[in-house]
Amino acid sequence: GPALLFVKTSQGKEEGRRFYACSACRDRKDCNFFQWEDEKVSETRLAAREEYNRNHQPSFTHRQNVDRYKNFVLLPLSKRRFCQECQQLLLPAEWEKHSDHQFLCNITTAQLKSPSQLLYPLENKKTNAQYLFADRSCKFLLDLLIDLGFRRVLSVGTPRLHEMIQSKASQEEEFSVKSLLLDIDFRYSQFYTEDEFCHYNMFNHHFFGGEAARETCRKFLYEEDGERVIMVTDPPFGGLVEALASSFKKLMAMWSETEKEGHDNKEMPMFWIFPYFFESRILDFFPSFSMMDYQVDYDNHALYKHGKTGRRQSPVRIFTNLTPSMIVLPEEEGYRFCTVCQRYVSSGNQHCEMCNSCTSKDGRRWKHCVLCKKCVKPSWFHCSNCNCCTLEKHSCEKSDVGCFVCGKAGHKRSACPSLSHT
């Protein structure tokens, strides 16, 4: 889809040179697209780019994949094969072509209903970062959504939540929740119809299926018969918050435009799942959001696991525009309700009288610094040279180094106010 416009800056200089680069891949090895904004591109180079794009299209269209799936499920178990190297369901006529590849045999209906466990997770942190919810977190999210009265879930980059909803809907007659998966991983088109999956890039709000896919999403957001919609998204943590926020606002605008009464001046309900240290960036774009204490954990991530202690706990949280008191967290996992804050907090998150808030972000008990006039991490101490709380073993000279973008002291490049303007 469309590239994003970036800027190369030099320390202390406000003006930088602008360039276009891939919206989805931050590593030039994964996508080498680069073009200065003011550069004139020759016809030859344009033609070469078109040729490259044509040669890198998927083997089958979404429609062809749907037809292939219909044929695949009609096969007896002994003839159901999945090529692990090509990550593709194989029909008997294609076996010979893949004869020297590793493949799985006897693919069951249960496996077809759980494609996220059949497919290899794409774990390149700078491109896909496909970390999948653990069952505990997935079940908690789904139960919470049902308790809150939502019947339609726009699953943006949350394949495991989508498949749990799809699986329950096919097994339980009274289960009334529907889901639409928007994801950049086109492999899912082998398992879901055009009404269940849209090939989508959340960094530039691009629907690869064009207007038909956009219309599918628009229809899904239309709240028929009072079926309330919520968007749940779990973006790659290395992704640009600005780009993500821009796309999410466009999805919210699609919801607002469905001409339903009562949408005026309201935001589409949303769960944005992201690490707690991005809180200030998310609130910059969505001031109505607040962060919940619930720790989201992942099956295939060594660090992001619930139940570990100290700094080894999962840093991933739920950011939402719903009223915090509505989000009930499981007491059996140590969460409790703070009557002053009117929200559920983790057991280690003690209410600070001076801040008048439960201030911990990482699950540990934080301490109040009178000089900083705020609560800080338990491992931090007040440094009189830096005039702020920081780690005990730190280099005070670093406090004099200015921001790389604007050259001013007091903040890092990631939090530079001029960055969002650029």
Q: What is the pLDDT along the chain (422 residues), one digit of tens a residue?
A: 899 999 887 766 667 889 999 998 877 788 889 999 998 999 999 999 999 888 888 989 999 999 999 999 999 999 999 999 999 999 999 999 999 999 899 999 999 999 988 998 775 544 455 678 888 899 999 999 999 999 999 999 999 999 999 999 988 888 989 999 999 999 999 999 999 999 999 999 999 999 999 999 999 998 777 789 999 999 988 889 999 999 999 999 999 987 665 556 688 999 999 999 999 999 999 999 999 999 998 876 555 555 554 456 788 999 999 999 999 999 998 899 999 999 999 988 889 888 889 888 888 889 999 888 898 998 898 988 888 899 888 887 554 455 655 666 656 666 666 555 43
Q: How far apart are the first and last CA of the chain?
A: 22
What is the spatial order of strands in the sheet that 34-36 belongs to?
Answer: 4-8, 17-21, 34-36
Structure token pair of residue 107: 């693919």
In the chain the domains, ranked by start, together with CATH numbers, are 4-56 (no CATH), 62-107 (3.30.160), 135-347 (3.40.50)
For 253, other C-beta atoms within 10 Å of its C-beta total 11
Question: How far is CA 420 from each of CA 9, 123, 284, 342, rounded to the nearest angstrom?
Answer: 13, 28, 9, 32
**79 closest CA partner among 94, 65, 66:** 94
Answer whether 321's CB lies under 8 Å from 267's CB: yes
For 377, other C-beta atoms within 10 Å of its C-beta total 17
Radius of gyration from C-alpha coordinates of the chain: 24
Distance in angstroms (rounded) separating the CA atoms of residues 131 and 167: 20
